[in-house]
Amino acid sequence: ITLPGVDVEVHSDAVPEKVEQAISIASMMMGTRYAWGGKTSEGIDCSGLVQSAFRAVGINYPRDAYQQAYVGSLVATRWHRAGLRRGDLLYFLGRNGRINHTAIYLGNDQYLEASRGDVHYTSFNPDDDHYSEAKDASFCFAKRLLE
């Protein structure tokens, strides 16, 4: 089959440098205590972690998880996670059925989040020591900011 070039999009699995930089910045917050509404090394919440990391590399991003969820391209859902790539932003549902949590996907089922006391790694893999059944069940979708 021959397709006209204008009808074809080629996507790369390569992670943009700005996204890698944002992950590096967010990772420096490991162990920082969780503080609702926080955006500093004195205390940070999930959306503050994401917003601060991306703002540090020049990407303006909304403050709260439910606002952040409107930005980017949908790349995965709770039922179809194969499209996840390092640097994608994960969104989770609260008991009220609304987005109330976000995290940064690192690859290999691991993600970086601010919750349960501090900034730490969590996993979607039930065999991993950092697995959270509750987070796995509440995962809703993932978005990608940059291609």
Find the mean pLDDT for residues 94-100: 94
Q: What is the pLDDT of residues 56-82, one digit of tens each?
A: 999 999 999 999 999 999 999 999 999
The overall average pLDDT reported for the chain is: 92
Instruction: Say how far apart CA 53 and CA 3 lie, in whole Å.
Output: 40
Q: What is the pLDDT of residues 22-44, one digit of tens each?
A: 999 999 999 999 999 999 999 99
Listing DSSP states for 18-83 in one string gives HHHHHHHHHHTTTTPBB-TT-EETTEE-HHHHHHHHHHTTT----SSHHHHTTSSEEEEESS--TT
The label of the residue with tokens 């109330």 reads: 100
pLDDT > 80? residue 3: no
> Would you say the pTM of this structure is higher than 0.85?
yes
Q: What is the CA radius of gyration of the chain?
A: 16
What band does 88 get if pLDDT is binned at 50, 70 and 90?
A: very high
